[in-house]
Amino acid sequence: MTKILVLEDEASIRSFIGINLRRQGFIVVEAATGEEAIAIMRDQPDIQLALLDIMLPGISGLEVCKELRQLRPQMGIIMLTAKGQEQDKVSGLELGADDYVVKPFSPAELVARVNALRRRLPDQSGAAALPEISSGPFLLCMGEMRLYKHDEPILMTPTELAIMQLLMSHEGQAVSRSQLLDTIWGANYIGDPKVVDVNIRRIRLKIEDDPSTPRYIETVWGHGYRWDGMQLD
C-alpha cells in the first residue's frame, strides 16, 4: 500500500483529503505545518507521495517542496494551489513538484492525479527489472529509477524520468506535447499543458552542458520535443 503525506493547515480540507485517499486504499499521514511535514518525512522513509499546500503558516509549501526534493529525489510531489495563482504553479514545478491540483477540487480529480503520479514511482513490488535504454553518453535504468551520463548518476524526479523514457524510446522522432501529457499525466489531464515545458526546462538544466543551447532535447516548434542522444561531446 502506498503511504502519502498530506500537508494542509486547514483541518477541514486536510480531513476531506485524508478521508478520500483512505477510501482508495492509501495510508495517509497528516501534517498541519511545513516544519511538521519535514520532520515526518525524516522519520518515515517509507512515504512515497506528498500533497503540499502552498500557503502555510511558517515555512511555505514551496520551501517544503524544495527540502523534500533534496531529501527524497524519487518521491512524488503534488502541490495544492489556489485558483488563479499562476506563479505558484510554475514555482512549484520549477522546484521539483511533479504536478499540481487547483482548489477547489473534486475527490475524483484528486484521486486521479494521485494515481497517475503513483504509476511513475519506483516499483516496490520486487518485479523484474525494466529494460535499460542507452543513447550516446546516457543510460536510463528505469528499474533503478536512475539516469546516467558518462556513468555519473543524475538525480531526477519520477516525472522527469518518465519523460526521458518516452523521448529516448522514440529517438529522432518528434514527440508532441499532447502525447507527453496523455502518456505521463493521463489522457484525462485537465491541468495546464505548460507542465510539460516546465519539466523539459528542468531536465535540460540537469543533462545539458549548456541548457540555453540544448543539444539533446530539441524543441520542435508548434509540436513538441525530439531526443538526440548521439550528439558528439
Reported as a single tens digit per residue, the pLDDT across 103-144 is 888 999 999 999 989 988 876 554 445 678 999 999 999 888
Find the range with the poorest average confidence among 85-94, 145-154, 181-190: 85-94
Asked if 63 and 34 count as a contact pair (C-beta separation under 8 A), the reply is: yes
Return the pLDDT at 129.
55
Distance CA 187, CA 182 (A): 4
Query: Is pLDDT of 158 > 50?
Result: yes
Find the range with the poorest average confidence among 82-86, 91-95, 106-110: 82-86
Per-residue pLDDT tens for 12-25? 999 999 999 999 99
Mean pLDDT of 18-41: 96
What are the chain's domains?
A: 3-118 (3.40.50.2300), 132-227 (1.10.10.10)
Distance CA 162, CA 64 (A): 23
pLDDT band at 211 (very low <50, low <70, confident <90, very high): very high
Distance CA 206, CA 203 (A): 5
The separation between the first and the last C-alpha atoms of the chain, rounded to the nearest angstrom, is: 44
Return the pLDDT at 128.
46
Per-residue pLDDT tens for 215-226? 999 999 989 999
Return the pLDDT at 130.
66
Mean pLDDT of 173-190: 90
Q: Over pLDDT 70: what percentage of the chain?
A: 94
DSSP letters for the chain: --EEEEE-SSHHHHHHHHHHHHHTT-EEEEESSHHHHHHHHHH-TT--EEEEESS-SSS-HHHHHHHHHHH-TTSEEEEEEETT-HHHHHHHHHTT-SEEEEES--HHHHHHHHHHHHTTSPP-S-PPPPPEEEETTEEEETTTTEEEETTEEE---HHHHHHHHHHHTTTTSEEEHHHHIIIII-TT--S-THHHHHHHHHHHHHH-SSTTS-SSEEEETTTEEEE-TT---
Return the pLDDT at 124.
56
pLDDT band at 83 (very low <50, low <70, confident <90, very high): low
